[in-house]
Amino acid sequence: MRPYTPADEDAAIELWRRTWARHYPHIDFNARVAWWRERWRQELLPVAQVVLAEQDGALAGFVTVDPKTEYLDQIVVAPEHWGSGIARALLDEAKKLSPGGLSLLVNKDNARAIRFYEKHGFAYAGEDKNPVSGIAVSRMTWPAP
């Protein structure tokens, strides 16, 4: 685990793209790279703490947390590291960055992520909409109410 530096941007954006493409193969995430880069620079980095997970010198995952709002925007783990404990380690880092609590939005069709968050103390906190896509999502919070 280590803090993000500007030199990590390309690797983080590529990991984000590759991971989402694996989870949602029917969506062309290659077309979204410029948008992701802009969002990374303009929306996440100005407010979020970013922690990277490395395995054998390569980026294996990252988490972004805004400690002021207690919002966990992204937790991304390379598909080849799914089930390895990296997601748990990143979530533990997020909890250290925001010990008073965390909230997040998760796609309703991402059952794997929902199970992961529930297993680690998050609880369903209501319906919401993704502010970018407008898709219905679930809000989850930790600690559970």
Structure tokens at 82: 């799914």
Structural domain of residue 61, as residue ranges?
1-100
For the domain that residue 6 is a member of, what is the CATH number? 3.40.630.30
Residue 15 host element (H or E): helix 9-23
Mark whether 4 and 50 lie in a shared domain.
yes
> Is 67 in the same domain as 16?
yes
Distance CA 111, CA 115 (A): 6
DSSP state of 135: -
Say yes or no: 23 and 56 in one domain: yes
Nearest to 11, CA basis, from 61, 63, 55: 61
* Same domain flag for 67 and 115: no
Does 64 share its domain with 105? no
Q: Are residues 105 and 86 in the same domain?
A: no
Report pTM. 0.89
Number of domains making up the chain: 2
Residue with tokens 């919401």: 128
Model pLDDT, residue 70: 96
Same domain, 74 and 110: no
Please identify every stretch of the chain with a pLDDT value under 50, giving residue numbers as ranges: none
Instruction: Let me know whether 66 and 130 are in one domain.
Output: no
82: helix, coil or strand?
coil
Same-domain status, 119 and 72: no
- What pLDDT does 144 receive? 58
